[in-house]
Structure 1
Amino acid sequence: MTFGQQPQGNGNPFGQPQYGQNQQPYAQSPYTQNNYGQPQYGYAPNGTATMNAQTAYSYEQVQQAQRASVTKAYGEMTIGLIITAVVAVFTQMTGAYVAFISATGLIGFFLFAIVQVGLALYLGARIMTISSTAARVMFYVYAALMGFTLSSIFIVYQLSDIGIALGMCALFFLVLTMFSLTTKFDMLKLGPILMVGLIVLIISQLVLMFIPGVGEATRIICAIGLVLFAGMTMYDAQATRALFAHYESQGPEMIRKISIVCALNLYLDFVNMFLYILQLFGSRD
């Protein structure tokens, strides 16, 4: 409104940061890959997957542990979205965002955006050194800040349009996630393409901000952005699973950290898809 981790992005139509990580947007994740872009797994001599240097687990146990980890990441993402929604509604009811912008003007708007970007960048850069509790708190704070900013959509769009866009986004996100986690197609190979697409999208939006009377062009850009973030959602779903497979031997604390990073990426995919859907189908006031 997005890490030694996984792909990044930057920016949405409301000036929100996308993927404030310490790598290039949607670069390949740091887990080990082979020549075909597939994550490599370590196996013990008897054919069982190795969870750590001392203990070998069955393939079924490894798969079960990975599913639990992926579920944890999506759970953290859901909590972040709930925090954003609650803060956005509360901010709109109290008029806090309007009062803030009225008092600070564009300086306050850009300063607030910089704080959000900085928080995401710090989380991405320090995830391997800070505790999982600190990472979780930072993610929740980021979600709250996003909610404060997103309260502005209640000024621009009708409540019914916001509800419809949210429902469409949730269904779209669920379908994309299920497809990406069950298909044999490797979305991780598309990382460079998604990165280039994201850069072009950001530049296009910045240019259109300074060109009056380009309503139809804006809708085209929104449609492209929706398709792009659909691809990013599938990419991040597969990257989440691969990251857990790579770091599972480093203990529960590392798994908790990775779950926060993956949750932030998925969270930003959801928020940006929601905003593009809202701009495409919502009636602006």
Structure 2
Amino acid sequence: MAEYDTVRSAGIGARAAAIDEGLRAHMNKVYSTMSIGMLITFAAAWAIASLATTTDINAAEGMVHEGTYLTGLGMAIYASPLKWVIMFAPLAFVFFGFGAAMNRLSAAGVQLTFFAFAALMGLSISSIFLIYTGFSVIQVFLITAISFAGLSLWGYTTKKDISGWGSFLIMGVIGLIVASIINIFLGSGVMQLAISVLGVLIFAGLTAYDTQNIKNTYIAHAQHGDQEWLAKAAISGALNLYLDFINMFMFLLQLLGDRE
């Protein structure tokens, strides 16, 4: 925030107004790109879950619960070794794929890559429509959306510099990943509860932190006028906020969701 105030106070008249207008346009790009990604994810998740299940017992190859059965596709993505690839594919993309796309592709290419990743995430989380009731998924989504909006607004408007949160929050994310992988094999309900609670808190903090970081990054580079770089930065910011939302939603769903 101090950097924003310094740059803004250094500009006068039209220059300061241009920075403010550009920042608003940049944030609108971030939020609109993120929103499209969210729409793709949940549409893909619902479509895949629908194709993977059936109510026709004669076409069933496995059972989810009484009255709902897995099709051949459902058995492949939920009950075969392929499920591990699907589970970890989004994580591998975030760590290895997106950085390469940022360096090698145009802004339009990076945006298409993000949307492809959103569809992949939809495949990865599609099982929520088998595990939880539809009403529960919608209810938790709305709770997440309201919480996310408040946290992101605070991160954008606060005068407090929260850049120091970053290293602690990233360490927390790494700890969550490790603990989640361990608990896949342990199957501890108590450990899963602790992971979910900590996950909500960590990604709530990251929502505010990432929002302020997106704002400050734009202010630091806006004067250079590199529109291609700024366009890529908006997509990168959208990905960060998208991941904050998705993870907060998934952890809240584990805490508040009603299972089928």
TM-score (norm 1): 0.76
CA distance in 2, matches of 1:98, 1:238: 45
Note the 1:123-272 alignment, pairs <5 A. Answer: 123-212=98-187, 214-248=188-222, 249-272=224-247
CA distance in 2, matches of 1:273, 1:235: 14
Amino acid at match of 1:235: Y
Match of 2:66 in 1: none
- In the TM superposition, residue 218 of structure 1 has moved relative to its aligned partner by 1.6
Q: Which deviations, in whole Å up to 9, do the C-alpha atoms of 1:22-44 show, x marking residues without a partner? A: xxxxxxxxxxxxxxx95478869
In terms of fraction of residues, the more helix-rich structure is 2
Is the 8 Å Cα contact of residues 233 and 269 (structure 1) preserved in structure 2?
A: yes
SS in 1 for 2:103: coil
Amino acid at match of 2:125: L
Distance 1:115 1:206, change over 3 A: closer
Is the 8 Å Cα contact of residues 52 and 74 (structure 2) preserved in structure 1?
A: no
Report the structure number with the largest CA radius of gyration: 2
CA distance in 2, matches of 1:111, 1:38: 44
CA distance in 1, matches of 2:18, 2:86: 45
Amino acid at match of 2:201: V
Note the 1:10-89 alignment, pairs <5 A. Answer: 39=3, 47-48=10-11, 57-89=14-46
- In the TM superposition, residue 132 of structure 1 has moved relative to its aligned partner by 0.7
SS in 2 for 1:187: coil
- In the TM superposition, residue 210 of structure 1 has moved relative to its aligned partner by 2.1
Distance 1:208 1:100, change over 3 A: same
Between the two proteins, the alignment pairs up a number of residues equal to 241
Is the 8 Å Cα contact of residues 26 and 234 (structure 2) preserved in structure 1?
A: yes
Is the 8 Å Cα contact of residues 101 and 113 (structure 2) preserved in structure 1?
A: no
Tell me the C-alpha RMSD between the 2 structures: 2.6
CA distance in 1, matches of 2:146, 2:168: 25
Q: Percent identity?
A: 28
Distance 1:47 1:205, change over 3 A: closer
Amino acid at match of 1:142: F
Distance 1:47 1:278, change over 3 A: closer
CA distance in 2, matches of 1:90, 1:235: 33
Amino acid at match of 1:221: I
Is the 8 Å Cα contact of residues 51 and 71 (structure 2) preserved in structure 1?
A: no
Distance 1:276 1:43, change over 3 A: closer
Q: Which deviations, in whole Å up to 9, do the C-alpha atoms of 1:184-233 show, x marking residues without a partner? A: 11121111111222222222222222224x32332122011100000011
Distance 1:79 1:91, change over 3 A: same
Match of 2:60 in 1: none
- In the TM superposition, residue 253 of structure 1 has moved relative to its aligned partner by 1.7
Distance 1:99 1:126, change over 3 A: same
Amino acid at match of 2:27: V
Is the 8 Å Cα contact of residues 70 and 244 (structure 1) preserved in structure 2?
A: no
Q: Structure 2: which 5+ residue stretches go unaligned?
A: 54-69
Q: Structure 1: which 5+ residue stretches go unaligned?
A: 1-36, 50-55
